[in-house]
Amino acid sequence: MLRLHTVLLLSIFAVPALAQAQPSGSVHTPTNNAADVEAAAKAEMIPERILQFTPVETDPALSISPVTSLPQCGSDGTLFLDMLDPKDLNKHTVVSIKGKKSQTYLPSAISDLHDVTVFSFFPSESMVAFLVRGTREMQSAPGGGKSPAGYAWSGYHSYIAEFDPDGGYKTSVEIPATYQISRLAILPSREFLVAGYDPVNSTARLLLLGPSGDLLRTLDMPASRIPAADEGPHDAVQASKASRSRVGNLVFTS
């Protein structure tokens, strides 16, 4: 039954939506009240849509994991699924599905980074990119100041790992930020948007990066700030929890 539901989900999301604007049918009575006029103007700015979906046939040989993250769609309607290994949720496999055609993107193919943790991914017409954390340092024996995998903690950074549309790994770009990174988007100009949480200032931030990772602009949301003293020491666990609570509901889409 679970397998049936998974296939149905793919059938629904894999088709580009057909949208047809529908009139609201409401009648606005003329009024001289400024507040009513403003409210009516705002209501008319929000269009109503009816979305029609039809099932499509997918590759019967495609194996779908029962554990997947939120699906994403490319600008051409291609469905992208981030599938996790049920026995090891740190292992990700992204699959693009368009009709009977599919393509696999494997974070394990990121050859210039070690001990990689995947936070999110984003598809564009020119690439599929993963937002990850890892290190370029060489492995050594476990000890003080090192991760359980044997890498110095000081060598870990956040990166954007780029794959070409055919699934081949290209390169990784370091993100100039020291705080918790959680979301990624790729603009048509090939610039990057990266969202994260800054525990020092207790605020969510949005970075605009150039194609090479150079910082072009930093934005924050002052309304999300709370005094840092209210949260106590900012260790890794607390920073991760705060990041999920502040930007966990933020999703980028093409």
Beta partners for residue 114, in sequence order: 135
Q: State which amino acid sits at residue 168.
A: G
2: tokens are 């679970």
pLDDT band for position 171 (cuts 50, 70, 90): very high
Mean pLDDT of the chain: 76
pLDDT at 55 over 60: yes
Name residue, tokens 């009816």.
Answer: 50
* pLDDT of 13 strictly over 50: no
Share of the chain above pLDDT 90, in %: 27
Q: Which residue has the higher pLDDT, 3 or 149?
A: 149
Which pLDDT band holds residue 12 (cuts at 50, 70, 90)?
very low
Q: Supply the DSSP string of 32-76, one letter for each residue.
A: --HHHHHHHHHHHTS-EEEEE-------TT----S-B---EE-TT
pLDDT at position 66 over 90: no
Listed range (11-15, 53-57, 230-234) with the worst mean pLDDT: 11-15
CB atoms within 10 A of CB 15: 18
**For the range 72-78, what are the long-range contacts, defined as Cβ-Cβ under 8 Å and sequence gap of 24 or more?**
72/121, 72/122, 72/123, 72/253, 72/254, 73/13, 73/253, 73/254, 74/123, 74/124, 74/125, 74/254, 75/124, 75/125, 75/254, 76/16, 76/125, 77/14, 77/15, 77/16, 77/17, 78/14, 78/123
pLDDT value at 69 more than 50: yes
pLDDT in tens, 203-217: 788 889 999 999 999
The reported pTM is 0.68
pLDDT of 16 higher than 90: no
